[in-house]
Amino acid sequence: MVIKPKIRGFICTNAHPMGCAENVRQQIAYVKQQPTVSPAPKKVLVIGCSTGYGLASRITAAFGAGAATIGVCFEKPPTEKKTATAGWYNTAAFHQQAEQADLYYHTINGDAFSDECKADVIERIKADLGQVDLVIYSLASPKRRDPKTGEVYSSTLKPVGQTYTTKTYDTDKDRVHDVTLEPANDEEIANTVKVMGGEDWELWLSALHEAGVLAPNCRTTAYTYIGKKLTWPIYGHATIGRAKEDLDRAAAALNERYQDIQLQAWVSSLKALVTQASSAIPVMPLYISLIYKVMKEEGTHEGCIEQIYRLFTEGLYAESATLDEQRRLRMDGKETNDATQAKIEALWDQVEQDNFHQLADYEGYHSDFLRLFGFGLENVDYDADVDPVVNW
């Protein structure tokens, strides 16, 4: 079939297999051009490995450090009539490239929140790798089924404490307008923490430790976004921010609990970027379009792969990484420093419907959005008839 993007609201409902493969290839090429990650992990588990920051983490571990990788993701396979999700095609492309490079890989497509998935991963580690020395936790999910009670929790993206009115950009209608967001109630806050907080990260580490598959001096990190004044009301100080604070609690608990193997756990703060997860958050498309404009002008713009390569070399495996007061690794400084934020705030105050396309880099935002699904990449013939069925 000839595959063209089908965009519905903030999501694209199909994906292009060749475009996704090209996207993965470009990320691998970037990592290969950089100095080898050293010291480096050898056997890596990436939970949430198929898109965004998790995919970049897997690519950096494999192609930047030569590591064997086991990945976990939750992706839809293709049929004759319907394309797979982008993460499916990304994973197929990653496998193909890892195979050619003679790197061990295995991916489990299942619900990472479940006990079964954890048991499958442990079995696979025992059979093929023995132990892992790095665990990346990069899940972004709107829902979580509690493995003990079976109850399904949903996260919400709402302010905490008070109603918040702000500008937003509707990507579907190409319209800048005000949006008023009602504050979350206590249950919505608690549910968001249940989905996106540290509990599942802790359950993973607990299961892996109990099974004896964490190597001595194993490292682990979960990803957060902290942001600044413009995003605090909808992110940092909102429901999702509460969940992310819970990651800080979990990191401290993990460091305390697994001293027997000298586990080192960090929360890593990454910059705002277009991913499937961030495009669903109100305000973020507008904010990201503005930071793209400012950071590209400053020459400090980075994508997922650049951020994660730096996280490995300047954070996780640096001789002396700089930590913030919460003991987090910070890779977001090029976005959150005061000078850059002042420029973004100045644009934010001016931006309205008529000047949006001049003040913001919406073209950059939109192009990155399409690329997430394998569209708009160089070297891909989008008029060609392609088979959507790609297996791994």
Peptide bond into 147 cis (omega under 30): no
Q: Is 30 one of the catalytic residues?
A: no
Q: Which of 53, 347, 77 is nearest to 224 (CA)?
A: 53
Tell how far CA 187 is from the center of its chain: 26
Q: Residue 295 and residue 292: Cα distance in Å, rounded?
A: 5
Strands 329-330 and 264-269: parallel
Collapsing DSSP to helix, strand or coil, 123 comes out as helix
Residue 134 marked ligand-binding? no
Cβ 270 to ligand NAD, closest distance in Å?
A: 4
Q: Closer to ligand NAD at the Cβ: 307 or 313?
A: 307
**Beta-bridge partner residues of 179:** 166
Residue 130 burial by Cβ neighbours in a 10 Å radius (0-12, 13-18, 19+): exposed
| Tally of helices (H runs) and strands (E runs) in the chain | 14, 13
Q: Closer to ligand NAD at the Cβ: 3 or 86?
A: 86
Q: Closer to ligand NAD at the Cβ: 171 or 224?
A: 224
Residue 272 marked ligand-binding? no
Specify the DSSP class assigned to residue 364. H
Cβ 206 to ligand NAD, closest distance in Å?
A: 17
> Where do contacts with ligand NAD occur on this chain (CB under 6 A)?
48-54, 72-75, 87, 111-113, 138-141, 223-225, 270, 272-273, 275-278
Tokens of 229: 């004044």
Q: Closer to ligand NAD at the Cβ: 2 or 323?
A: 323
235, 258, 287, 292: which is the annotated catalytic residue?
235
Cβ 275 to ligand NAD, closest distance in Å?
A: 3
Q: Closer to ligand NAD at the Cβ: 48 or 388?
A: 48
Q: Which of 129, 147, 125, 20 is nearest to 75 (CA)?
A: 20
Residue 140 marked ligand-binding? yes
The angle subtended at Cα 74 by Cα 69 and Cα 80, nearest 5°, is 110
Residue 50 marked ligand-binding? yes
Tokens of 76: 């839809």
Residue 75 marked ligand-binding? yes
Residue 55 marked ligand-binding? no
Cβ 240 to ligand NAD, closest distance in Å?
A: 7
Please name the amino acid found at residue 237: H
Cβ 243 to ligand NAD, closest distance in Å?
A: 9
- Active-site residue set: 235
Provide the annotated binding site for substrate. 225
Q: Residues annotated in the binding site, as ranges?
A: 48-53, 74-75, 111-112, 139-140, 225, 244, 273-275
